[in-house]
Amino acid sequence: MSEHKVMCVRLPLQGVNLLIPYACVAEVVSLMLRPRDGAYLGEVEWRGLSVPVVSLERGCDKPIDVPRGRVRFAVLYGLHDPARLPYYAVLLNGVPRTEGITSEQLESMVEGGCKLLGLGVKQEGQTVFVPDLEGVESWLQAAQTGQATG
Protein backbone atom coordinates (compact mmCIF):
# COMPACT_ATOMS: atom_id res chain seq x y z
CA MET A 1 0.00 0.00 0.00
CA SER A 2 1.33 3.42 -0.99
CA GLU A 3 1.57 6.11 1.68
CA HIS A 4 -0.17 9.43 0.99
CA LYS A 5 2.12 12.22 -0.22
CA VAL A 6 1.70 15.82 0.82
CA MET A 7 2.81 18.34 -1.79
CA CYS A 8 5.32 20.71 -0.21
CA VAL A 9 7.65 23.48 -1.27
CA ARG A 10 11.25 23.59 -0.10
CA LEU A 11 12.12 27.25 0.41
CA PRO A 12 15.88 27.94 0.41
CA LEU A 13 16.87 30.62 2.90
CA GLN A 14 20.46 31.61 3.71
CA GLY A 15 21.94 28.51 5.34
CA VAL A 16 18.64 26.71 6.00
CA ASN A 17 15.69 25.22 4.11
CA LEU A 18 12.02 25.45 5.06
CA LEU A 19 9.45 22.84 4.10
CA ILE A 20 5.91 24.16 3.90
CA PRO A 21 2.68 22.87 2.33
CA TYR A 22 2.34 23.82 -1.32
CA ALA A 23 -1.13 25.29 -0.68
CA CYS A 24 0.40 27.97 1.59
CA VAL A 25 2.41 29.55 -1.26
CA ALA A 26 0.58 32.17 -3.33
CA GLU A 27 3.50 32.84 -5.70
CA VAL A 28 7.28 32.98 -5.99
CA VAL A 29 8.31 36.34 -7.41
CA SER A 30 11.25 38.67 -7.94
CA LEU A 31 10.47 42.19 -6.76
CA MET A 32 12.35 45.35 -5.88
CA LEU A 33 13.34 45.67 -2.22
CA ARG A 34 14.85 48.50 -0.21
CA PRO A 35 15.40 46.56 3.02
CA ARG A 36 15.36 47.92 6.52
CA ASP A 37 17.59 46.77 9.33
CA GLY A 38 16.23 43.90 11.42
CA ALA A 39 14.04 40.96 10.52
CA TYR A 40 11.07 42.97 9.28
CA LEU A 41 12.45 44.18 5.95
CA GLY A 42 9.64 46.51 4.96
CA GLU A 43 7.05 46.00 2.26
CA VAL A 44 6.91 45.22 -1.45
CA GLU A 45 4.20 45.94 -3.98
CA TRP A 46 2.66 42.71 -5.28
CA ARG A 47 -0.51 42.58 -7.41
CA GLY A 48 -1.53 46.03 -6.25
CA LEU A 49 -1.09 45.15 -2.56
CA SER A 50 1.51 46.21 -0.04
CA VAL A 51 2.96 42.95 1.34
CA PRO A 52 5.21 42.82 4.43
CA VAL A 53 8.56 41.06 3.99
CA VAL A 54 10.42 39.09 6.63
CA SER A 55 13.86 37.53 6.95
CA LEU A 56 13.40 34.50 9.18
CA GLU A 57 17.16 34.18 9.50
CA ARG A 58 17.43 37.67 10.99
CA GLY A 59 14.44 36.85 13.19
CA CYS A 60 16.58 34.00 14.55
CA ASP A 61 19.47 36.42 15.21
CA LYS A 62 21.57 35.09 12.32
CA PRO A 63 23.54 37.86 10.62
CA ILE A 64 22.78 37.80 6.91
CA ASP A 65 23.24 40.31 4.13
CA VAL A 66 20.01 41.29 2.44
CA PRO A 67 20.51 42.34 -1.16
CA ARG A 68 19.01 45.55 -2.48
CA GLY A 69 17.19 45.72 -5.75
CA ARG A 70 15.44 42.78 -7.38
CA VAL A 71 15.10 39.97 -4.84
CA ARG A 72 13.28 36.60 -4.87
CA PHE A 73 10.43 36.06 -2.41
CA ALA A 74 7.85 33.44 -1.60
CA VAL A 75 4.53 35.21 -1.09
CA LEU A 76 2.58 33.18 1.46
CA TYR A 77 -1.09 33.23 2.34
CA GLY A 78 -1.92 34.58 5.77
CA LEU A 79 -3.51 31.77 7.78
CA HIS A 80 -3.99 33.11 11.30
CA ASP A 81 -5.82 36.40 10.62
CA PRO A 82 -6.28 36.84 6.84
CA ALA A 83 -8.33 40.01 7.32
CA ARG A 84 -5.31 41.75 8.94
CA LEU A 85 -2.54 39.87 7.12
CA PRO A 86 -3.81 38.32 3.87
CA TYR A 87 -0.28 37.81 2.50
CA TYR A 88 3.31 38.15 3.59
CA ALA A 89 6.60 37.45 1.87
CA VAL A 90 9.65 35.47 2.98
CA LEU A 91 13.04 36.44 1.57
CA LEU A 92 14.58 33.54 -0.41
CA ASN A 93 18.15 32.65 -1.30
CA GLY A 94 17.61 30.44 -4.31
CA VAL A 95 14.90 28.70 -6.29
CA PRO A 96 12.18 26.81 -4.38
CA ARG A 97 11.51 23.17 -5.22
CA THR A 98 8.15 21.43 -5.16
CA GLU A 99 8.17 17.86 -3.85
CA GLY A 100 5.81 15.21 -2.59
CA ILE A 101 6.64 14.20 1.00
CA THR A 102 5.57 11.13 2.93
CA SER A 103 5.98 10.70 6.68
CA GLU A 104 8.45 7.86 5.97
CA GLN A 105 10.80 10.37 4.29
CA LEU A 106 11.06 12.39 7.50
CA GLU A 107 13.73 10.45 9.35
CA SER A 108 14.10 12.10 12.77
CA MET A 109 13.67 15.36 14.63
CA VAL A 110 16.62 17.70 15.01
CA GLU A 111 17.33 20.08 17.89
CA GLY A 112 18.78 23.54 17.53
CA GLY A 113 16.40 25.54 15.36
CA CYS A 114 14.97 28.80 16.56
CA LYS A 115 11.28 29.24 17.33
CA LEU A 116 10.58 30.97 13.99
CA LEU A 117 12.09 28.15 11.94
CA GLY A 118 10.00 25.57 13.76
CA LEU A 119 10.55 21.85 13.94
CA GLY A 120 13.77 20.55 12.41
CA VAL A 121 13.57 17.16 10.70
CA LYS A 122 15.98 15.04 8.70
CA GLN A 123 14.81 14.37 5.18
CA GLU A 124 17.03 12.27 2.93
CA GLY A 125 20.06 13.18 5.05
CA GLN A 126 19.40 16.95 5.03
CA THR A 127 17.91 19.03 7.82
CA VAL A 128 14.79 20.97 6.84
CA PHE A 129 12.59 23.06 9.10
CA VAL A 130 8.81 22.94 9.24
CA PRO A 131 7.73 26.31 10.60
CA ASP A 132 4.63 27.09 12.61
CA LEU A 133 3.24 29.55 10.05
CA GLU A 134 0.65 30.98 12.43
CA GLY A 135 3.47 31.65 14.90
CA VAL A 136 5.51 33.34 12.15
CA GLU A 137 2.53 35.53 11.29
CA SER A 138 2.00 36.56 14.92
CA TRP A 139 5.69 37.33 15.23
CA LEU A 140 5.62 39.35 11.97
CA GLN A 141 2.68 41.44 13.13
CA ALA A 142 4.61 42.23 16.33
CA ALA A 143 7.78 42.97 14.30
CA GLN A 144 5.88 45.50 12.17
CA THR A 145 5.16 47.46 15.35
CA GLY A 146 8.64 46.94 16.83
CA GLN A 147 7.48 44.56 19.56
CA ALA A 148 8.83 41.22 18.28
CA THR A 149 11.51 39.11 19.87
CA GLY A 150 13.16 36.18 18.02
Check: CB of residue 35 under 8 Å from CB of residue 83.
no
Write the Ramachandran bin of 96: left for phi over 0, alpha for psi from -120 to 50, otherwise beta.
beta
pLDDT on residue 35: 76
- Name the pTM for this structure: 0.87
Check: CB of residue 10 under 8 Å from CB of residue 24.
no
The phi and psi torsions of 56 (rounded to 5 degrees) equal: -65, -30
pLDDT tens track, the chain, 150 positions: 457 888 999 999 998 899 999 999 999 999 888 878 888 888 999 999 999 999 988 888 888 888 778 889 999 999 988 888 999 999 999 999 998 888 777 766 766 678 888 888 877 778 889 888 988 999 888 887 765 555
**Parallel/antiparallel/unpaired status of strands 49-54 and 87-91:** parallel
Quote the CA–CA distance of 79 and 87 in Å, as a whole number.
9
pLDDT on residue 2: 58
